[in-house]
């Protein structure tokens, strides 16, 4: 018996030792790419950043030559995507993963205008990196091209008309050059689209939305006389004219294209304009309203520097509502009342502005809430005070309503429009001011 026990133990030990040292197959990650150099051909480049030939499709075959599944991402120096899909022969679905031995056809759209430096022509190169399994392996593909000037070069500077009062007598016209850089005439197509109607945010077109849309369309006109065709190595002028038919912000674009199926790159001229209320009082300045949709906050300013910062994206998330009204410049006197402006400190949970034309209210805010509301100015602009009992405005002025959102962040909106006031009240905002109509201040007509 002892001999048998020793034999069994010896066999078990020998088997265990054999299993422990048996070699295992090591999974490998490998990818073959064909071709490794892709010529994008001749690409049209612009002298402006963000313009030029929009896209070029390429085809690359990716073969999994390893022993493990692989997933992909790809990246150029200018942009990246976390993953892509490709087509495997015999599989009708687009795949995110390919198995060992499988090959797939990857057909991305390359964006040449992101690859080429503005105004640089001649041969160029970049690298498309195929990123495997989140960075376990990177396989480069070289992209080459030859850059040439745009066949049709368009001045795409924004056609910005600024604030134009409704009672402006003459149409304002801006011109943009279109140049034919080829040895043959080119006939162009000019298409324009304009929008910005403030009451067209719903799913269905209401009567007021349709009327505002008509007003926008009637406010602009586009001309292309002398552009049909543009002679070889010559240019013409596109005219964009604006005469507002309504007092709100209007935006749009003018697209310039070549003949159908031509190699001409379409280019877009952005258009921006603001129909302002009629200026009937000389020396007044325009108070423009902005909104931050994410915050649900409104802001009002007459300051050109603040308008510029808001409209160029320095303060993110802000845009014009299209509403505005005329006020008197700060320090006007002549029976008017200065408007104070406070800033609600973020550390107090506010990050908002408050305006008042009442000297008593300005003083009360300053003394009661010194740690929450910071006085920015005693006189940002001037208005008139309504009758404290009736809310009636002096002759030659019109009502300005103030609405309070009733929330801890204490935002207010200021408007001369009764329908805007009513819509805000319906949304839960609270009217503040004098008299039964709650008039906060009075603006010059």
Task: Tell me if residue 7 falls in helix, strand or coil.
Answer: helix
Give the Cα separation of 59 and 105 in Å (integer). Answer: 7
For domain 31-148, the question of CATH label 2.60.40.10 is answered with: yes
- pLDDT of 9 > 80? The answer is no
Give the Cα separation of 385 and 160 in Å (integer). Answer: 35
**Phi and psi torsions of 179, nearest 5°:** -115, 135
- pLDDT of 430 > 90? The answer is yes
173 or 55: which leads in pLDDT: 173
pLDDT computed for residue 3 by the predictor: 42
Give the Cα separation of 300 and 314 in Å (integer). Answer: 16
Q: Could you please state the CATH topology (level 3) that the domain comprising 152-276 is classified under.
A: Immunoglobulin-like (2.60.40)
Listed by start position, the domains of the chain span 31-148, 152-276, 285-444
- For 176, the token pair is 């943009």
Q: Give 131-177 pLDDT, tens digit per residue.
A: 888 888 889 999 999 999 999 999 999 999 988 988 888 999 999 99
91 or 355: which leads in pLDDT: 355
pLDDT computed for residue 24 by the predictor: 57
pLDDT computed for residue 108 by the predictor: 83
Mean pLDDT, range 67-91, rounded to an integer = 68
Give the Cα separation of 135 and 141 in Å (integer). Answer: 15
| Nearest residue to 126 via CA among 103, 147, 157 | 147
- For 328, the token pair is 């008197």
pLDDT computed for residue 363 by the predictor: 97
Q: Give 104-120 pLDDT, tens digit per residue.
A: 998 888 888 888 999 99
Q: Give 274-324 pLDDT, tens digit per residue.
A: 898 888 888 999 999 999 999 999 999 999 999 989 988 899 999 888 889
Q: What is the dihedral of CA 434, 439, 441, 445, to 10 degrees?
A: -140
Range in 19-33, 152-166, 223-237, 413-427 with the lowest mean pLDDT:
19-33
Task: Tell me if residue 198 falls in helix, strand or coil.
Answer: coil
pLDDT computed for residue 209 by the predictor: 87
Give the Cα separation of 116 and 153 in Å (integer). Answer: 16
Most confident option among 44-58, 110-124, 246-260, 377-391: 377-391
Give the Cα separation of 290 and 296 in Å (integer). Answer: 11
Question: How high does pLDDT run on average in the chain?
Answer: 88
For residue 8, name the pLDDT band (cuts at 50, 70, 90): very low
Mean pLDDT, range 50-75, rounded to an integer = 86
- pLDDT of 5 > 50? The answer is no
**CB crowding 365-400: b at 16 or more within 10 Å, else e:** beeebeebbeeeeeebbbbbbbeeeebebeeebebb
**CB crowding 190-214: b at 16 or more within 10 Å, else e:** bebebebbbbbeeeeeeeebeebbe
Cα 172 to Cα 240, 243, 304: the distances in Å are 8, 6, 21
- DSSP-H helix ranges across 162-230: 207-219
For residue 79, name the pLDDT band (cuts at 50, 70, 90): very low
In this prediction the pTM is: 0.69
- pLDDT of 394 > 70? The answer is yes
- pLDDT of 378 > 60? The answer is yes
Give the Cα separation of 379 and 250 in Å (integer). Answer: 30
Task: Tell me if residue 219 falls in helix, strand or coil.
Answer: helix
pLDDT computed for residue 76 by the predictor: 58
| Nearest residue to 301 via CA among 332, 259, 343 | 343
Q: What percent of the chain has pLDDT over 90?
A: 67
Range in 84-88, 140-144, 427-431 with the lowest mean pLDDT:
84-88
- pLDDT of 365 > 80? The answer is yes
Q: Are the C-beta atoms of residues 171 and 138 closer than 8 Å to each other?
A: no
- pLDDT of 83 > 70? The answer is no
Q: Which DSSP string corresponds to 231-280?
A: PTT-EEEEEEEE--SSSSEEEEEEEEE-STT-SPPPEEEEEEEEEEPP--
Mean pLDDT, range 356-381, rounded to an integer = 96
Range in 89-103, 152-166, 173-187, 408-422 with the lowest mean pLDDT:
89-103
Range in 32-36, 78-82, 256-260 with the lowest mean pLDDT:
78-82
- pLDDT of 213 > 80? The answer is yes
pLDDT computed for residue 82 by the predictor: 37
Q: Which single residue is written with the structure tokens 């071709």?
A: 35
| Nearest residue to 434 via CA among 397, 412, 407, 402 | 402
Q: Are the C-beta atoms of residues 256 and 236 closer than 8 Å to each other?
A: no
For residue 12, name the pLDDT band (cuts at 50, 70, 90): very low
Domains 31-148 and 152-276 share a fold: yes
- pLDDT of 121 > 50? The answer is yes
């Amino acid at each position: 018996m002892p001999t048998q026990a020793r034999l069994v133990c010896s066999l078990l030990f020998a088997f265990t030792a054999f299993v422990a040292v048996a070699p295992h197959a090591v999974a490998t990650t490998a990818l073959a790419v064909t071709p490794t150099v892709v010529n994008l051909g001749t690409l049209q480049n612009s002298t402006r950043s963000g313009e030029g030939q929009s896209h070029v499709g390429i085809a690359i075959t990716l073969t999994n030559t390893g022993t493990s599944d692989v997933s992909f991402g790809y990246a150029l120096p200018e942009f990246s995507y976390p993953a892509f899909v490709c087509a495997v022969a015999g599989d009708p679905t687009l795949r995110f993963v390919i198995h060992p031995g499988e090959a797939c056809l990857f057909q991305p759209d390359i964006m040449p205008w992101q690859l080429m430096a503005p105004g640089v022509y001649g041969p160029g190169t970049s690298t498309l990196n195929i990123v495997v399994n989140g960075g376990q392996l990177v396989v480069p593909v070289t992209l080459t091209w030859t850059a040439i000037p745009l066949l049709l070069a368009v001045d795409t500077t924004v056609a910005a008309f600024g604030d134009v009062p409704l009672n402006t007598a003459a149409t304002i016209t801006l011109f943009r050059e279109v140049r034919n850089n080829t040895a043959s005439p080119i006939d162009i197509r000019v298409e324009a689209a304009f929008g910005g109607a403030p009451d067209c945010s719903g799913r269905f077109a209401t009567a007021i939305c349709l009327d505002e849309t008509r007003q926008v369309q009637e406010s602009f006109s586009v001309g292309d006389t002398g552009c049909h065709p543009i002679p070889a190595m010559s240019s013409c002028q596109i005219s964009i004219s604006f005469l507002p038919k309504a007092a709100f912000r209007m935006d749009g674009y003018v697209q310039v294209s070549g003949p159908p199926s031509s190699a001409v790159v379409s280019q877009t001229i952005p258009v921006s304009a603001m129909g302002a209320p009629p200026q009937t009082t000389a020396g007044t300045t325009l108070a423009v309203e902005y909104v931050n949709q994410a915050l649900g906050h409104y802001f009002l300013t007459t300051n050109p520097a603040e308008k510029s910062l808001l409209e160029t994206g320095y303060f993110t998330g802000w845009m014009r509502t299209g509403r505005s009204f005329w006020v008197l410049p700060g320090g006007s006197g002549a029976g008017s009342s200065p408007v104070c402006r406070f800033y609600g400190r973020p550390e107090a949970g506010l990050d908002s502005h408050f305006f008042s034309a009442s000297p008593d209210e300005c003083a009360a805010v300053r003394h009661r809430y010194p740690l929450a509301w910071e006085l920015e100015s005693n006189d940002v602009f001037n208005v008139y005070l309504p009758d404290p009992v009736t809310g009636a405005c002096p002759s030659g002025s019109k009502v300005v309503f103030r609405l309070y959102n009733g929330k801890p962040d204490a935002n207010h909106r200021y408007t001369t429009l009764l329908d805007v006031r009513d819509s805000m009240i319906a949304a839960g905002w609270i009217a503040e001011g004098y008299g039964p109509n709650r008039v906060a201040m009075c603006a010059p007509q």
